[in-house]
Structure 1
Amino acid sequence: MTEDSGRHGRGRPNEGPKAAARNRAALVAAAREVFAERGLEVPLSAIAKRAGVGQAVLYRHFSDRTAAVAAVLEENVRQIEQAAEDERATFAGMLGVLTWHLTDSAAFIGLLHAERAGSRSGIRSQTLGLSERVERALRQHLPPEHRLSAGDDLTLAIAMVSAAVTSPTREERELRALAAWRLLDVEVGPVRAFDG
């Protein structure tokens, strides 16, 4: 055996922080996909497998299911906040970004129903804070005369739409979300991820 096994294909050179960041990003993306397909109670091994890493790598980044869910939620909320900071953002456009997250992430739907999260989930207080951040981002672009500007109307509308997003495929979830917004007589911009 040679000293430099990386040159002979027997090992990979240690890439340190670059590999750690890449692995974390792959794990968060895999968690989002697996949670959307199979629900939040999916075995963590399914996330590691989807990300193409071993379980030890998964546990280096996420000590348990709660940490994996929290990472997905944080990314969802961060993207909505980034969309709100875009000077071209409109309320309808923000609802399009929100709807994309609703249809793409089962964990995000759970966030918007944080009041139902029991102590078993271990993330109730965290989800309440994240939910408030989503609402703050949306309110930055909510015109004062909009039908959802009074009281808790925005919060209730988001909860109603997220409750309607209960379908096994992403396409069906998007159709249901758009139908719910339409029934509420609320204009929604293109359903898309915010890409900066």
Structure 2
Amino acid sequence: MTEQTGQTGQGGRRPANDGPKAAARNHAALVSAAREVFAEHGLEAPLSAIARRAGVGQGVLYRHFPDRTAAVAAVLEENVRQIEQAAEDEDATFAGVLGVLTWHLVESAAFIGLLHADRAGSRFDIRAHASALSERVERALRKHLPEGHRLSAANDFGLAIAMVSVAVTGPTREKREHQALAAWRLLGVEVGTVRPYGGG
């Protein structure tokens, strides 16, 4: 079954997006749009804003994300998948994978929410899922943690990530990145270039 996108660009409409890869393209566009919208407006942002940002109609949005929790979970899964891919790269270094992790902390309100999903009052039913994703992030990074590193103790690494995530605040991406890097620096941890996996 193919999907058609909704509005975009010239004339406010996008041509029919038929073909066997349409669903995958739309899903990727929606995840990217959700990450941006949640980062800009928080996890309470209207789902319609995600559809508009992705250039698809409401029907396409709800086929992929039947509710807000599904949208948050999709962003979380993509963030973790990129960190895992970065860790599996043959040229991966601990600092480099930390750079990818930091990019996701800076770009994604949903990812910050993941790290604090056990807080009382969370309205998103992602706690069990969040725990599994957090473990995947830590496993991916620990593969490259140098022996004797200051974060090598059992609980120190997870705690450090949570501490840095709390520092990721600010009205602009530049401010949030500055805060994240400052927090890593105060922890005495070297971080590589802050970018998504595969980014330039």
Is the TM-score greater than 0.5?
A: yes
**Residue from 1, 20, 23 that aligns with 1:20:** 23
Q: Distance in 2 between matches of 1:188 and 1:13?
A: 43
Please give the residue correspondences for 1:26-45 in structure 2 after superposition, counting only pairs within 5 Å. Answer: 26-45=29-48
Q: Could you tell me which runs of 5 or more consecutive residues in structure 2 were left unpaired when the two chains were aligned.
A: 1-12
Query: Hey, what does 2:58 align to over in structure 1?
Result: 55
Does residue 101 in structure 1 map to residue 104 in structure 2?
Answer: yes
SS of equivalent to 1:191: coil
Name the count of aligned residue pairs. 187
State the identity as a percent. Answer: 79
Q: Distance in 1 between matches of 2:158 and 2:16?
A: 49
RMSD: 1.8
Q: Could you tell me which runs of 5 or more consecutive residues in structure 1 were left unpaired when the two chains were aligned.
A: 1-9
Q: Which amino acid aligns with 1:31?
A: A
Q: Which amino acid aligns with 1:184?
A: L
Shift of 1:124: 0.7
Q: 1:13 to 1:168 in 2, by over 3 A?
A: closer
* Higher relative contact order (CA closer than 8 Å, sequence separation 6+): 1
Please give the residue correspondences for 1:93-172 in structure 2 after superposition, counting only pairs within 5 Å. Answer: 93-116=96-119, 118=121, 120-172=123-175
Whether contact under 8 Å (2:14, 2:55) holds in the other structure is: no
Q: Distance in 2 between matches of 1:161 and 1:87?
A: 27
**Residue from 161, 173, 176 that aligns with 2:176:** 173
What TM-score do the two structures reach when normalised by structure 2?
A: 0.88
Q: Distance in 2 between matches of 1:37 and 1:11?
A: 25
What TM-score do the two structures reach when normalised by structure 1?
A: 0.90
Q: Distance in 2 between matches of 1:117 and 1:144?
A: 36
Q: 1:45 to 1:181 in 2, by over 3 A?
A: same
Q: Distance in 2 between matches of 1:169 and 1:79?
A: 23
SS of equivalent to 2:21: helix
**Consecutive aligned runs of 4 or more in structure 1 exceeding 6 Å deviation:** none
Query: Which protein is richer in helix relative to its size?
Result: 1
SS of equivalent to 1:143: coil
Larger Rg: 1
Q: Distance in 2 between matches of 1:51 and 1:34?
A: 10
